[in-house]
Structure 1
Amino acid sequence: MPTTSALSSLTPASSQILEPATLPLFGSRLIEASAGTGKTWTIAALYVRLVLGHGGEHAPPCPLTPSDILVMTFTRAATLELSDRIRERLTQAARYFRGDGADDAFLDSLLNDYPEGTAREQAAWRLETAAQVMDEAAIYTIDAWCQRVLGEFAALTASLGEQTLAPSTAELLATAALDYWRQHVYPLQGTALETVLQRWPTALEWQRHSSAAVALADSVPPHPVAALPEWHIDQSLPEWLDALLPAMQQQLRTLADGWRERAARLKDWLDAQTDKDGTHQPHWDGRKLKPSSYTPWLDAIGAWADDPQAPLSLTAAAIHRLSEAGLQEARKAKAPPLSLPPEVAQLQTLWQQQEQLPDVPQLLQQHAAWHTRARFQHLKQQQGVFDFADALRRVEQALTGVHGATLRQRLALRYPVALVDEFQDTSAQQYRVFRHIYQPEANRADIALLIIGDPKQSIYRFRGADIHSYLQVRRQTQDRHYALGVNHRSTQHLVAAVNHVFAGAESRDGPGAFRYRPREGDNPLPFQPVAARGRAEYWGNADGELPALHIEAAWEAMRQPDAGELFAQQCAQQVVQWLNDPATGFYAHGNGHFTRLRPADMAVLVRNRNEAALVQQALRQRGLASVYLSDRESVFGSGVAHDMVAWMQAVAQPLDIRLARAALASPMLALPLAELERLADDEAALEEHLLLLQDLHGIWARHGILPMLRQSLHRLNLPARWLADDAQGERKLTNFLHLAELLQQAARTIEGEQALTRWLVQQIQAALQGQTGDADEQIVRLESDADLIKIVTIHKSKGLEYPVVLLPFACHHSRVARGSHPGEKSEDDHAGDSMSAPDTDEERLREDLRLFYVALTRARHALWLGFASLQKGRSKDCQTHHSAWGYLLAGQPEQSLDAPAWQTLLHGWANGCAGIRVATLASSFETHHYVPREQPRPLAAERHYGGAPDRAWAISSFSALTRPGASADRLATPMPWQTLPQRADDEPRDPTLPAPATAPQPTDAAVWHRLPGGPRMGNFIHDQLEWLGYDGFPLQLADHERERITQNASHAGWEHHAPALITWLDTLLQTPLWAVVACEDGGTAPAAITLGTLPASLAELEFWMPARQLDANRLDALCQQWVWPDEPRPPLPQRQTHGMLMGFADLVFEHAGRYWVLDYKTNVLGADASAYHPDALRHTVLRHRYDLQAMLYLLALHRLLRARLGTAYSPEQHLGGALYWFVRGLDAPGHGLLQLPGQTQWLEHADAWLNTANVRHDTDAATSATTVLPTFQP
């Protein structure tokens, strides 16, 4: 363990080494905690002291309870971790004070200040009590704390009680952005419109940028433009552009005047500096002043002079070279003084004047952001909600408002001590809140503000983190800086290597390692080397210890995309080499205990998903699985979501061949091309898939969307197909199941297949527009928790650690172009958040340096880095010195370095540290594949199941019995859902059966004759009658029932049919059921009985009956024997049913002591009422075998009545019969009703035959007798 004196040599004079047992716990103090130096341990240690009131003259004002100590951090996960660690430390300290626990140097130092006896026991009691009440601890995120302040101090903060906190207001912001576009952009025309569309081509483009732009508007208030003093932010966009554009055009014409001639004169002068052969005169450096460079620059200026509305874009290098300083640099060392032409100074004046021109794109964004924010606030007020940003803003306003002094005093008393963790991630607004309360510059003795952070890890600028706030508080706490100087994470060799990476840049002249050192004064952001505690194991193989930092270098310059491909492949190759070597891993010092390297031990750090995709592809080519842990995309934006829309549409309308073909051809189903070709040519093959869609439609209608989608998975064998043939198979399967869950949740509040499909389409559109709604639920899930290589962005890796880290794209960078604007998206991935690009390339480089530091400090044992000599743009020169690593190695050379220079520099630098090795990347290499290690043997012997399940068992129904072409094997699949009854058995699905008449309906026919036929209409009418009948049918439709039918029709896509549907259903409710009134003499007589006057009824009676080896032909013979025996009808297909027979009767009702089954049919028999005469009805019943359906329903009712009524049951007395109501025949004689009497003899024969068949297969007759009772489930 390094000593304090040793650490002092590593710490700048402005900082002290932090001693957790003696740190003063009052006033304001800044604790700088470099990566891996035990920040969380230190916070827990200080918390123990605060609870004890420990420290003598360094003690807090008084002992504190957890509710008094405000601990602020910036993520919910961090608050949970801190709470757990602090509770654990308090409990450990309490036991230690009672003499129980392993040696602990920190607790020993505390223990010595509490004599044995009462003082020590009181201290232990205080610690134990604090641990027990940690659930009340004031450990919050800044958002949660602001919410608590608004609630606890409502009077002082003027909080509106009627407003509620909304976890996400993204949808409201998106609406506000589109409102801005409608109100301000739609009225534009001509040049004004073109100006806006150059900035944002579409409304959705502005909507995607609106979040970052509005956030930026909070910190950059609008201000008038000097060139346009009459401009005001609250003007409408047309008014503002009408004032701006003409003034801009005039200013540009004035600036451009004469520059065609000036550019020509300057070119002539430069040409005169060279010979005719193109070689320079002896006083000029030919590498710095070349006609091939300055000629296009000056030509561009001349072209701009002819058309000043066009942009004049020259690189910073070009502008510098054409300046007085740049031209002087191009002169050789001993060249005589040179008199420059006046055009050089005039050119510099032109640049300055251009810089002073209004930046139209930036002003456009400012205008859009201001108005969008105003609209956003209005929408939130309108809906009575506020978000976390509003909460922070309100707290700040309250602290500086009328009651600000009282609120500040109350908060300081409420939380006399505050520990702010990860302060480098603090925004300027958050810092102002802390400053108002704790006044760090005053260093008050009655309160304490302990600020903990590491400015070297300030990488969340895109979330509002303001490193300048950190630097400001650093100045305010001058002479009260403390440092954690020992790295507890990494090996000694790795800590030394990382120190070496940054130490060179820090020690040489210039702005320092992180480019914040001024020419005079102290460096506000220095690099402080840390000591290493070391680890108990080292990284090695059979040859010994491996280097802590391995660099693979490609010396020849190449384009960044080519380097990305190359280093992704080399990274994957290195991973395979390590994993295939059984001796590569971690060796314990001393006993040499070895732990072999596993895939999960490695993390590849990248900047964005594009780099991640390169690495994943390279790993996949070698047989290695990986997982991208930074994927914050919405699952609704995945390809599976798009394909699921097509699948749901096909299932919702299973007879639509167009939708079926589209779904079957989707990438989600991954059908081979040969199979798709067969479906295009073979109608029978397509019919099999249509039958599947019909089955799935029934599952969706009866059981919901989730069972339907899971059955789709199994019936189509999608998991096996995806996992076997698709490299993204796990991703597809995970997304499919995730979407299924979200659809099931949505189905709780959305009624109907079409409505649910539209909801999914809306979510997909929202995801494409960057609106994530309830973001956490929608984020794609980790596809596997197996032993996978982790790929993670540098931003996401902060706070994490991995045994081995690979950084293949260490030299990649993206310079900020001159004239870029805040709010533009950078190339980095930041968990899906929009990032404001750095305003200058200097800011970009500073941020890249901090990112590089974070990346290098994630590893425990080893780092593997790729070094590339990169070319950018049209330049053939190497641009690596503009990257963070290039700067650390080479500083800022006046010109780019070539391959030999980089090679010399890198090798020379590496020789300064024993833990660093540089290797030259091979020009070509053989691709090696990962060889998985032998699987570990199971701890116990495998157990084998010796049972013989009945694989022929299935669920059958009337629709399954009558469906042609379904074999017994098909009916006996382990997944029996295909045989469930379908709702719309009204219409023939078999193409071999004759279709209903399609003659044009006369215009004077009743409305129900003019409505479309088919299963969709049948399902719709059944659905309406089902919910109307659940609580008893009304006499006629009430207003709320009419409204519901209208809504349901709209969801089904039949808004234009809603009035006709209401008329039809209302007529149906009032139509008499003539044939069902029992007379005293046993006959029947007409009576005005309607659905609404039925005394008792039950909709959708579900029944289940055992059917063991049920012969369909035998059942058919019984039916034909007793139901209209002389009438012809199609025979049932040959098959046996084994399992259960189930179904749903539309309506069962009782009247005058008799029980009836009623089934609604919406079949289209003709164009008007004349087609619904009794012979036609009977012919239709027999053709579709509804006679068998009626007998099965009556058999179920017969068994139910026998079970319920017992010995009092008499079929002749209680069983009425079956009614088939062809509801399109309401205006026909008999109103479309057809009665099938309850054939007592048929029921007795069928009941006895089924019982006999069941008993033959079950020796326990008593059990059999109970199973024949149908389940009565309304």
Structure 2
Amino acid sequence: MLGHSFKIYNASAGSGKTHTLTKEYLKTILSPNHSFSQILAVTFTNKAVNEMKERILKSLYEFSTTRSDDKASIMFNDLCGELGIDRETLRQKARTTLKLILHNYGFFDISTIDKFNHRLIRTFARDLKIAQNFEVVLDTDLLLFEAVDNLLEKVGQDKILTQVLIEFALSKIDEDKSWDISFDLCKIGKLLFNETNFGHLDYLGEKKINDFIALREIIQGKIKKHKRDLIANANESLSMIQENGLTHGDFKSGYFPKFMTKIANGDFNLDFSAGWKQHFDTGPLYIKSCPEHIKSIIDGLHPRFSVIFTNIRETYNQALFLANIHQNLVPLTVLNAIQEEVKSLQEERSQLSISEFNTLISNEIKNQPAPFIYERLGEKYRYYLIDEFQDTSELQWSNLVPLVGNALESEDDQGGKGSLFLVGDAKQAIYRWRGGNAEQFLDLVSGNTNPFVIQPEIHNLPSNYRSHETVIKFNNDFFTATSPLLNNQPYKELFEQGNQQKTNTKKGGYVQIAFLEDEEGQDLDLLYCEEVLSTIDKVRAQGFSFNDISILVRDNKHGYILADYLTENKIPVISPDSLLVANDRKVRFLIDLLHFSSQPDDMEAGYNILYYLVGEHNNEHSLIGSNLHNLGDFLVKEYDFRLSDFKNMSVYDGLELAIKKFDLIKDSDAYITFLLDVVLEVEQKEGNGIVTFLSYWDRKKNKHSIAAPNNLDAVKIMSIHKSKGLEFPIVIFPYANSNIYKEIDPKLWLAVDQDQYNGFKEVLINKKKEVIDYNENAAMAYEEEQHMLELDAFNILYVALTRAERALFIISLKDTKAIKSSRKTHYSDVFIDYLKNKQLWSDTETIYSFGSLENTAPLSKNGSIEKSVPYQYTNKENPSFKIMTNAGMLWGTAQEEAILQGNLIHYILGLIKVREDVDSVFGDLERKGMVANKAIPTLKKKIMAVITDDALKQFFSKGSIVMNEQEIITENGEMLRPDRLVISNNSATIIDYKTGKRSNTHEKQLNTYAQVLERMGYIIENKIIVYINKDVIIEYI
């Protein structure tokens, strides 16, 4: 029996979520009258998709091979009990189902929600009025950049738009900022691709530029009025002081009259944080020693002063509010125009950004009782599994509700209903910035919201199967103890009540919190790096491998710093920085070549090119200095590389030429291969040309990384976000002192009175502390955002601290100022608060440990054994076509192959000057595709038989001048080309290679070479013919 049709599982870290999902999936497909093709399982990442598919297939295979007398897995026995069937029946069902899935794999529907939406939109492209062959745009930054460029090109054509943009540029100059407004427009344009803004932007889309201009004029008018009111209020207070015979000295430190004078003089840079301002209504305005009659006068005026002061504060806050609106108004004014440019580019290229998927579907199903795009799918899918629900956006969920609701609330032909199995953990919701909504999951679990008639059955997965006992108990205790620091009650309860995981059979474990001393003048980055290195040494001393260790950072820049430091200290590292294509030396060299070829006066690129080429030379500085201004000649002379040829090729062909000429790839190179893939993609999508590619590369170089193998013996460095869903034996969490409330250019949408704001019902403002003083609505919005920041910070911390299996090392900062403060703004404050709560804190201690670090059974696996794939040149200069000769056709296949092999050996010997060249020559031939990998051993054996022969080996040693196939022009203009000349002290040895039978013409040819060389002044020491057939025969003439 399937049981309840709507289940929600609360799955904390390491609680066996994937196991539970797999079991529920298997339970569904192994039930009577249930087909796997009727199930849609949706998760968050491709990695999770692959893991779930793998587990399901492995389980089915295991079930199908489990005999009645075998010891079955726990899941096998559980399913027998829950489905009410015997072992043999389950075995047969599993076997049949596995066969069906493998033969109908396309119906095995486990995917990410984006992939599901993509397939849905492509299926109904015609109905949705979009191109059926549309291209999905994952990276919208480049699209936005082009749209803004196109918009700015229209300056001078559209009068109103031109006026708005010029005024915006001038206002930036007045604020001592760059007049370049493209950055601001790109920044505001990002709102177009952020799902959390879509509802607000839909409303603004109805507004025209003139509506925004009118609103701006209204706001400017209000700001001017507020400034006049401020001055009038200040002047009134100053007049009252003067009329009553008072002086500035009669007031406590002269604060009040000085403040009013400042305002009266038009200085509106005001601050209301001072103590006397905070208690203006109740505090005295004079000192105790003030004469009684003066006290009496001031006391009498104080009520009116209080009214004026309150008016000034409220008016000033309103002016700040209006100025904040005004600051975002011009970019918002042209947002619709930017969106039109984006749409134009997408239509021109048949593109659709992935961020539009949810909106496109939402717009189609809105207000439709039976959305047509779901009609066919509703018949296909009856059972739904949704993983990582806490990261599902509101729009994604609202789009799925009609589809799922149809399955839950209707019956099929057999009278059966569909089901929904939903898994999530609000404590691991760390993707709010891309639409994820923890509150959505909390509301479903608590029963506050439910879009279906059927009530959910709530389950909690109680145990942690990932970590060892000490790690689990520490996290249970830590998050429960620190939960009161959250100022939102539901968020507080989430960590207070929902964080008590049971332990498993893994005993032991270790947790350490280290605090660095924050002393003035110290390099904190260096301190963190040194502590991380010390921790790695400590872990290694216990027998752990490098690949047991993962370093988690919240900010990628910290990952780069750590990677550089650890690499310098001989620690093998895999990090986003180490895998970045743009950071590879050879890639940088190729990019510099592109820069220099397009701009020959780019001395920086020229210097970088020379530094790469001669960087290992003892006289590198003199070589660079002497060749920097004639770099082109240097490249031709030393490498036979002509910048003119390079520049006239496509970027792809040019780079391949450079790779060949500079011998950049000895065997294989993932970075260069990736670069060429990027070049090819850019040329196909954006056109050829060095400038086009470099423009793309400058904007996107930091987003291209190669994928690293999983089992390399190296320390992994990754962001906390990337670590979600993963587990590691040892986790090091440095820089554990993030600001809980830190944001980058945060914005707020605030509701306003339409009658006062030209029909606008909401405005966009910058989020800053002053917002709480604007009005009650603004204060509530600000506090709600702050509470969300607290939850997000705790969630990120929860993810970081729950990745460890055996040991967790936290490296934070001992901020003495923050220790004394009651406000907790950084992670270090949270750790210190916990230690104080447990009465463990000491001002003199810097290390706090729990449990013991032991390695009784190493978890590390052997590093993966890799076989590099040789790079293949396309070799356009010498295409590797196989040409069938007439002679070969006459003699037949065997003779043809013999002739071809003889020619190839002849060619290879022409590339070899000394014996040490053999390996590099064969490597080069393999990369160029001229020699198949399987043919190399035979060819190399034949070549070595020639150059190691006792009679010839002296002529393949270092110390002589060797000229292979050197052309000689005689007095009669005849051109001769001996295969090999070896010259030493004016004596010459001539070597010629031949295949086939001996002939008198061979001897005659060698004598001709000798006569010409003698006339050139050389003494002929040896004349040698080498016959290369099945055996090698050497003949001296």
For normalisation by structure 2, the TM-score amounts to 0.67
Matches within 5 A, 1:238-317: 239=213, 243=217, 246-247=220-221, 249-254=223-228, 256-258=230-232, 306=265
Q: Tell me, yes or no, if structure 1 residue 738 matches structure 2 residue 671.
A: yes
Percent identity reads: 15
For 1:849 and 1:327, the matched residues in 2 are separated by 40
Question: Which residue does 2:171 correspond to in 1?
Answer: 195
For 1:673 and 1:307, the matched residues in 2 are separated by 67
Within the candidate set 150, 154, 174, 1:179 is matched to 150
Question: Which residue does 1:1137 correspond to in 2?
Answer: 962
Question: Which residue does 2:401 correspond to in 1?
Answer: 435
Within the candidate set 45, 64, 77, 1:75 is matched to 45
Q: CA deviation at 1:86?
A: 1.4
Deviations 1:21-60 (A, max 9, x none): x87341x33211111101110000001111123xxxxxxx
Q: CA deviation at 1:235?
A: 1.0
Structure 1 or 2, whichever has the larger Rg, is 1
Q: CA deviation at 1:575?
A: 2.2
Q: CA deviation at 1:118?
A: 8.4
Q: Given that residues 557 and 870 in structure 1 are in contact (C-alpha distance below 8 angstroms), is that contact kept between their aligned partners in structure 2?
A: yes
Q: CA deviation at 1:525?
A: 7.2
For 1:222 and 1:786, the matched residues in 2 are separated by 47
Matches within 5 A, 1:897-976: 906-909=835-838, 920-921=845-846
Q: Given that residues 384 and 421 in structure 2 are in contact (C-alpha distance below 8 angstroms), is that contact kept between their aligned partners in structure 1?
A: yes
Deviations 1:825-854 (A, max 9, x none): 99xxxxxxxxxx999443322211111111
AA partner of residue 529 (structure 2): A
Matches within 5 A, 1:44-59: 44-53=22-31
For 2:85 and 2:965, the matched residues in 1 are separated by 83
Q: CA deviation at 1:605?
A: 1.4
Deviations 1:1052-1073 (A, max 9, x none): xxxxxxxxxxxxxxxxxxxxxx
For 1:107 and 1:856, the matched residues in 2 are separated by 34
Q: Given that residues 193 and 355 in structure 2 are in contact (C-alpha distance below 8 angstroms), is that contact kept between their aligned partners in structure 1?
A: no
Q: Tell me, yes or no, if structure 1 residue 801 matches structure 2 residue 730.
A: no
Q: Given that residues 637 and 767 in structure 1 are in contact (C-alpha distance below 8 angstroms), is that contact kept between their aligned partners in structure 2?
A: no
Is the alpha carbon distance of 1:242 and 1:486 closer, same or farther for their aligned partners in structure 2, counting shifts above 3 Å? closer
Q: CA deviation at 1:496?
A: 0.6
AA partner of residue 695 (structure 2): Q
Flag structure 2 segments of 5+ consecutive residues without an equivalent: 156-160, 284-298, 412-416, 749-763, 768-781, 848-857, 864-905, 926-942, 948-958, 981-993, 1014-1019
Q: Tell me, yes or no, if structure 1 residue 598 matches structure 2 residue 545.
A: yes
Residue 530 of structure 2: SS of its match in structure 1? Answer: helix
AA partner of residue 187 (structure 2): H
Q: Given that residues 93 and 107 in structure 1 are in contact (C-alpha distance below 8 angstroms), is that contact kept between their aligned partners in structure 2?
A: no
For 1:783 and 1:825, the matched residues in 2 are separated by 43
Q: Tell me, yes or no, if structure 1 residue 421 matches structure 2 residue 371.
A: no
Q: CA deviation at 1:83?
A: 0.9
Residue 359 of structure 1: SS of its match in structure 2? Answer: helix
Q: CA deviation at 1:869?
A: 3.8
For 2:127 and 2:677, the matched residues in 1 are separated by 45
Q: Given that residues 572 and 615 in structure 1 are in contact (C-alpha distance below 8 angstroms), is that contact kept between their aligned partners in structure 2?
A: no
Q: CA deviation at 1:419?
A: 0.8
Deviations 1:134-177 (A, max 9, x none): 55211111122122223445676556536454565654333112
For 2:134 and 2:86, the matched residues in 1 are separated by 55
Flag structure 1 segments of 5+ consecutive residues without an equivalent: 1-21, 54-61, 279-290, 329-336, 507-511, 540-547, 585-595, 720-732, 827-836, 891-904, 923-932, 939-952, 962-967, 981-1104, 1110-1133, 1144-1180, 1196-1201, 1212-1239, 1268-1274
AA partner of residue 514 (structure 2): E
Deviations 1:297-340 (A, max 9, x none): 998997677557x776x69xx39995469989xxxxxxxx9989
For 1:706 and 1:387, the matched residues in 2 are separated by 32
Is the alpha carbon distance of 1:712 and 1:885 closer, same or farther for their aligned partners in structure 2, counting shifts above 3 Å? same
Deviations 1:174-215 (A, max 9, x none): 311222333367655765323357688635524753663222
Count residues in correspondence: 860
Q: Tell me, yes or no, if structure 1 residue 670 matches structure 2 residue 629.
A: no
Is the alpha carbon distance of 1:854 and 1:301 closer, same or farther for their aligned partners in structure 2, counting shifts above 3 Å? farther
AA partner of residue 169 (structure 2): L
Is the alpha carbon distance of 1:306 and 1:485 closer, same or farther for their aligned partners in structure 2, counting shifts above 3 Å? farther
Residue 662 of structure 2: SS of its match in structure 1? Answer: helix
Q: Given that residues 560 and 871 in structure 1 are in contact (C-alpha distance below 8 angstroms), is that contact kept between their aligned partners in structure 2?
A: no
Question: Which residue does 1:813 correspond to in 2?
Answer: 739
For 1:161 and 1:418, the matched residues in 2 are separated by 27
Question: Which residue does 2:789 correspond to in 1?
Answer: 844
Question: Which residue does 1:24 correspond to in 2?
Answer: 3
Residue 965 of structure 2: SS of its match in structure 1? Answer: strand
For 2:105 and 2:237, the matched residues in 1 are separated by 74
Q: CA deviation at 1:865?
A: 1.5
Within the candidate set 851, 856, 874, 2:801 is matched to 856
Question: Which residue does 2:1008 correspond to in 1?
Answer: 1245
Q: Tell me, yes or no, if structure 1 residue 144 matches structure 2 residue 85.
A: no
Q: CA deviation at 1:69?
A: 0.6
Is the alpha carbon distance of 1:34 and 1:255 closer, same or farther for their aligned partners in structure 2, counting shifts above 3 Å? farther
Question: Which residue does 1:615 correspond to in 2?
Answer: 562
Is the alpha carbon distance of 1:149 and 1:1186 closer, same or farther for their aligned partners in structure 2, counting shifts above 3 Å? farther
Question: Which residue does 2:482 correspond to in 1?
Answer: 505
Is the alpha carbon distance of 1:91 and 1:747 closer, same or farther for their aligned partners in structure 2, counting shifts above 3 Å? closer
Deviations 1:748-804 (A, max 9, x none): 9979xxx98x53x544432433588xx6xx325559974222221111111111111
Q: Tell me, yes or no, if structure 1 residue 881 matches structure 2 residue 824.
A: yes
Deviations 1:516-549 (A, max 9, x none): 4259xx957765123344354644xxxxxxxx22
Is the alpha carbon distance of 1:238 and 1:346 closer, same or farther for their aligned partners in structure 2, counting shifts above 3 Å? closer
Q: Tell me, yes or no, if structure 1 residue 463 matches structure 2 residue 463.
A: no
For 1:222 and 1:810, the matched residues in 2 are separated by 36
For 1:670 and 1:266, the matched residues in 2 are separated by 79
Question: Which residue does 1:1068 correspond to in 2?
Answer: none
AA partner of residue 845 (structure 2): T
Return 667-676 or 609-618, whichever deviates more: 667-676
For 2:192 and 2:971, the matched residues in 1 are separated by 66
Deviations 1:477-535 (A, max 9, x none): 476322111101001111010011111234xxxxx56544259xx95776512334435
For 2:505 and 2:715, the matched residues in 1 are separated by 23
Deviations 1:963-987 (A, max 9, x none): xxxxx8899898679x99xxxxxxx
AA partner of residue 501 (structure 1): F
Q: Tell me, yes or no, if structure 1 residue 644 matches structure 2 residue 626.
A: no
For 2:325 and 2:53, the matched residues in 1 are separated by 49
Q: CA deviation at 1:570?
A: 2.1
Q: Tell me, yes or no, if structure 1 residue 476 matches structure 2 residue 449.
A: yes
**Alignment RMSD, CA only?**
6.1
Residue 747 of structure 2: SS of its match in structure 1? Answer: coil
Is the alpha carbon distance of 1:120 and 1:238 closer, same or farther for their aligned partners in structure 2, counting shifts above 3 Å? closer
Deviations 1:367-397 (A, max 9, x none): 3443322221222122223233333333222
Deviations 1:925-948 (A, max 9, x none): xxxxxxxx9xx999xxxxxxxxxx
Residue 551 of structure 2: SS of its match in structure 1? Answer: strand
Is the alpha carbon distance of 1:801 and 1:870 closer, same or farther for their aligned partners in structure 2, counting shifts above 3 Å? same
Q: Tell me, yes or no, if structure 1 residue 387 matches structure 2 residue 356.
A: no
Within the candidate set 325, 341, 344, 2:306 is matched to 341
Question: Which residue does 1:1258 correspond to in 2?
Answer: 1026
Q: Given that residues 418 and 450 in structure 1 are in contact (C-alpha distance below 8 angstroms), is that contact kept between their aligned partners in structure 2?
A: yes
Within the candidate set 622, 628, 648, 2:575 is matched to 628
Is the alpha carbon distance of 1:675 and 1:246 closer, same or farther for their aligned partners in structure 2, counting shifts above 3 Å? same
Question: Which residue does 1:567 correspond to in 2?
Answer: 528
Q: Given that residues 177 and 207 in structure 1 are in contact (C-alpha distance below 8 angstroms), is that contact kept between their aligned partners in structure 2?
A: yes
Deviations 1:1123-1164 (A, max 9, x none): xxxxxxxxxxx97536x5289xxxxxxxxxxxxxxxxxxxxx
For 2:603 and 2:637, the matched residues in 1 are separated by 15
Bigger proportion of residues as helix: 2
Matches within 5 A, 1:1035-1054: none
AA partner of residue 539 (structure 2): W
Is the alpha carbon distance of 1:166 and 1:117 closer, same or farther for their aligned partners in structure 2, counting shifts above 3 Å? closer
Q: Tell me, yes or no, if structure 1 residue 490 matches structure 2 residue 489.
A: no
Is the alpha carbon distance of 1:325 and 1:36 closer, same or farther for their aligned partners in structure 2, counting shifts above 3 Å? farther
Question: Which residue does 1:1005 correspond to in 2?
Answer: none
Is the alpha carbon distance of 1:557 and 1:259 closer, same or farther for their aligned partners in structure 2, counting shifts above 3 Å? farther
Residue 495 of structure 1: SS of its match in structure 2? Answer: helix
